[in-house]
Amino acid sequence: MLSFSSEVVCEAERLHLGEFGVYDIGVQPGGGQCQVETPVEPVNANLAILYCSLILIALGLVYHGILWAIKKRYTEKVEKIYRLARRHIGYQVHKCRNIHLNTRN
C-alpha cells in the first residue's frame, strides 16, 4: 500500500521486494491498482561470501596437495625437468665453500 498523508494512492497485492532489486511502481490515475515491475531481479547478498569461501578453500586444498606431493617425493620428475631447464638456459647455482679471510697475522 502506497499512501501520502492519510490518503491511499494505490494498493498492490502479493508483493515481494528482495534485497538489491530495482523496482518501478506505476500508479494509475484515479487511485486504483499499482503496477510493480522489476527491471533488475533481487540477489542474495550471501552468495559473494559463499563464492569467496569456496575459492579460499580450493586454494588451501591445492596448496596442501602440493606440499603433500613434495613430501611424498611425487614431484621428482618435475624437479628433474626444472633442473634441466635451468641448466639449459644457463641458470645453475653452484655450491661454494665458505672462505674466511683472516686479515690479522
Q: Determine the 3-state secondary structure of 55 from DSSP.
A: helix
Q: Indicate if 27 and 10 belong to the same structural domain.
A: yes
Pairwise pLDDT comparison (39 vs 7), residue with the higher score? 39
- Find the mean pLDDT for residues 35-44: 83
Q: Are residues 58 and 36 in the same domain?
A: no
In Å, how far from its chain's centre is CA 21? 22
Task: Give tens-digit pLDDT for 63-75.
Answer: 999 888 888 878 7
For the cut 60, the answer to whether the pLDDT of residue 3 exceeds it is no
- What secondary structure letter does DSSP report for 62? H
Backbone angles phi, psi at 23, to 5 degrees: -130, 140
Q: 74: domain range?
A: 46-89
pLDDT band at 4 (very low <50, low <70, confident <90, very high): low
83 and 55, same structural domain? yes
Angle at 26 between CA 21 and CA 28, to 5 degrees: 160
Q: Which of 25, 18, 23 is nearest to 42 (CA)?
A: 18
pLDDT (tens digit, 9 = 90+) per residue, 19-31? 778 888 887 776 6
